[in-house]
Amino acid sequence: MSARAVRRQLVSRAMTALVVVLSLIAVLALVLILGDLMVKGASSIDWAFFTKSPVPAGQSGGGVANAIVGTAIIVGLAALIGVPIGVGAGMYLAEYGTGRLGFAVRFIADVLNGTPSIVVGIVAWTFIVKPTHRFSALAGSVALAILMIPMLARTTEEMVRLVPNSLREAALALGYARWRTSLKVVARTALGGIVTGCLIGIARVAGETAPLLFTALGNLNFSLSVTQPMQTLSLQIYVYATGPFDDWHRLAWASALVLMGLVLVISLTARWVTRQRYGRIR
Amino acid sequence: MVASANTRLRLETVRLTALFGQLRAVRDVSLLFPAHTVTAIIGPSGCGKSTLLRCLNRMHELTPGASVVGAVLLDNVNVYAREVNPIELRRRIGMVFQRPTPFPTMSIYDNVAAGLRVNGKRPRREMDDAVERALQQAALWDDVKDRLRTSAIALSGGQQQRLCIARAVAPQPEILLLDEPTASLDPAGTQHIEELCHALKRLYTIVIVTHNLQQAARVSDYTAFMYLGNLVEVGRTDEMFMKPKVEQTEAYITGRFG
């Protein structure tokens, strides 16, 4: 082998090793976070953790049932508001958004995507909390929905654009109207991707804290009323982690572990849905 | 019921010009497609043959910037007239494309039924019969009758293309447009489709675009030769291939250009 070929092979191996190491570092962050949470949080998770509400500071025991239910309600409501608008906007952008309006919507969605989440919280506070004179779960949901919409719009647009134009033409040539083509052929073909996008969007906002601080506010008691302040896991972590009690710190670690697990489950579901996309038999 | 089988339907273009922006892809073409015959449109790539085909069912206008001058007459009605709804028109004219385009989320059955469903709900029984008839016509019934509810994309390329033909003929159109239907198929699949052309012209008026000259000679009754957007020559296929009248046609057929 010539000297040049040897050198090439060495460089090639070195580069391969480099990217492998860099990838490992990227994965390491997740492993460290999960490991740390397991070590510090798992021991505090018991049945009461899931079924009981918090007890007054200083007493031991109690759980975060209020925060788990609150997260489910606030994020669920946010999805109910955000998914139809976000997916609808994405469909519009991909199928009809070629003109000036499409350009404007796309641009605004990109700007909104980059907006700090705390700013979105302030907006929800200004337009909902202040006029109604009360913090509420609903205000929190609206804030999270606003965060979700641009994400869903852009991912839906990407997914719908992946549908080959030949399918659109085939449907139109069969005498499908434009709306029916978009709905029955294009949206259905892209459905797996759209659902994945929605789940990832939901997982993203499930961990948000800042936009909830002055909207849902937090609540130490169990509450199901969306017009009242409500606790979420993220707010619970924030309060407990910054508090002075060891018990609180333990519960914060455990809450973080549960929240992380929740997000992981949603992401895995998203993976599973995409896997189903091809070769689906109806 | 099967109007196409017994009426003498007329399809023709009258001084048809198709444009993409300023570019004239089809120039002043007047062409008659006799009922229950196969007319092949041949010519080198970019000669406007596909564009001409897409003008017949108003698919051309879906391309941004595309427009049409002149007329396409279907039973003496200009399909570009204001009162003609292009969606209704396309239900009377079936089309099959170069690449098979089965709807990937639908079963074989639903693919064939897709064009029927846009015309409103029908009793289950009637739908089953229509789907079977269409699959029979496309010579696909025996291949798929035991797996109608399975995914359409599990079929081979040739089967997928026959499925697209079944989907196109299921609503019993009057005209069938084939845009290079065998371009992505192997020889066996090609032969299948060509045999179908012979069988289906009893029921439909067929227009086929192809750049395979042997195919045009095998399947068509009439052949139209296009070059640079112009219709150069049209005539009975046997005459066109034996003794073309125009020098350019002869040059193309004998492989001297294109």
Write the Ramachandran bin of A58: left for phi over 0, alpha for psi from -120 to 50, otherwise beta. left
Separation of CA B54 from chain center: 9
- Percent of chain B clearing pLDDT 70 (strictly above): 97
Q: What is the layout of strands, in order, in the sheet containing B38-42?
A: B93-96, B175-179, B205-209, B38-42, B222-227, B230-236
- pLDDT for A67-121, tens place per residue? 999 999 999 999 999 999 999 999 999 999 888 999 999 999 999 999 999 999 9
Contacts of B180 in chain A (CB under 8 A): none
Between residues 169 and 188 of chain A, which touch chain B (CB distance below 8 Å)?
A: 169-177, 180, 184-185, 188
The C-alpha atoms of residue B209 and residue B59 are separated, in whole angstroms, by 15
Token pair for B186: 């192997």
CB A182 within 8 A of CB A163: no
- Compute the CA torsion angle B194, B200, B201, B206 (nearest 10 deg): -70
Q: Touching check for B168 and chain A: CB below 8 Å?
A: yes
Contacts of A184 in chain B (CB under 8 A): 114
Nearest CB to B97 within list A170, A185, A282: A170
Residue of B nearest to A169 (CA): B59
CA distance A275 to chain B (A): 14
Residue of B nearest to A177 (CA): B87
Token pair 């459905």 is found at A191
CATH superfamily for A48-275 is MetI-like (1.10.3720.10)
Question: Predicted ipTM?
Answer: 0.90
Q: Touching check for A165 and chain B: CB below 8 Å?
A: no
Residue of A nearest to B153 (CA): A279
- Percent of chain B clearing pLDDT 90 (strictly above): 70
Residue of B nearest to A188 (CA): B105
CATH superfamily for B3-253 is P-loop containing nucleotide triphosphate hydrolases (3.40.50.300)
Quick check: B151 and A188 CB within 8 A?
Answer: no
Quick check: B105 and A281 CB within 8 A?
Answer: no
The DSSP bridge partners found for residue B20 are B23, B66
Q: Touching check for A279 and chain B: CB below 8 Å?
A: yes
Q: Is the pLDDT of residue A276 over 60?
A: no
Amino acid letter, residue A211: P
CB A95 within 8 A of CB A172: no
Quick check: A174 and B57 CB within 8 A?
Answer: no
Nearest CB to B62 within list A167, A172, A174: A172
Helices (H), chain A: 3-41, 47-51, 65-95, 100-113, 117-124, 130-132, 137-161, 165-173, 178-180, 188-206, 210-213, 233-242, 246-275
Quick check: A280 and B151 CB within 8 A?
Answer: yes
Quick check: B114 and A282 CB within 8 A?
Answer: no
Q: Touching check for B87 and chain A: CB below 8 Å?
A: yes
Quick check: B90 and A173 CB within 8 A?
Answer: yes
Q: Is the pLDDT of residue A249 over 80?
A: yes
Name the 3-class secondary structure at B153.
Answer: helix
CA geometry: angle A169, B102, B170, nearest 5 deg = 85
- pLDDT for B170-183, tens place per residue? 999 999 999 999 98
Name the 3-class secondary structure at A186.
Answer: helix
Phi/psi of residue B26, nearest 5 degrees: -125, 130
- Show me where the domains of chain A are located: 3-44, 48-275
Amino acid letter, residue A89: A
Token pair 């010009």 is found at B17
Q: What is the mean pLDDT of residues A125-142?
A: 94
Q: Is the pLDDT of residue A60 over 80?
A: no
Q: At what angle do helices B157-169 and B108-117 cross, to 10 degrees?
A: 30
Q: Which residue has the higher pLDDT, B18 or A276?
A: B18
Check residue B1 and give its pLDDT.
Answer: 35
DSSP codes of every residue in A155-183: HHHHHHHTS-HHHHHHHHHTT--HHHIII
Residue of B nearest to A192 (CA): B105
Picking from A174, A195, A280 by the largest number of B CB atoms within 10 A of its own CB, the best residue to mutate is A174
- pLDDT for B81-132, tens place per residue? 999 999 999 999 999 999 999 999 899 999 999 999 887 778 889 999 999 9
Check residue B192 and give its pLDDT.
Answer: 86
The C-alpha atoms of residue B253 and residue B238 are separated, in whole angstroms, by 12
Tell me the whole-structure pTM to 2 decimals: 0.83
Rg (CA), chain B: 18
- pLDDT for A178-220, tens place per residue? 999 999 999 999 998 899 899 999 999 999 999 999 898 888 8
Quick check: B64 and A189 CB within 8 A?
Answer: no
CB B43 within 8 A of CB B100: no
Check residue A281 and give its pLDDT.
Answer: 37
Check residue B31 and give its pLDDT.
Answer: 94
Quick check: A282 and B103 CB within 8 A?
Answer: no
Q: What sign does the dihedral B133-B136-B137-B138 (CA atoms) show?
A: positive
Q: At what angle do helices A137-161 and A188-206 cross, to 10 degrees?
A: 140
CA distance B256 to chain A (A): 33
Quick check: A175 and B150 CB within 8 A?
Answer: no
pLDDT category at A273 given cuts 50, 70, 90 is: confident
Q: What is the mean pLDDT of residues B206-217?
A: 92
Check residue B59 and give its pLDDT.
Answer: 95
Q: What is the mean pLDDT of residues A27-49?
A: 90
CB A60 within 8 A of CB A78: no
Q: Touching check for B97 and chain A: CB below 8 Å?
A: yes
How many Cβ pairs within 8 Å bridge chains A and B? 77
Q: Is the pLDDT of residue B8 over 70?
A: no
Q: What is the mean pLDDT of residues B35-64?
A: 93
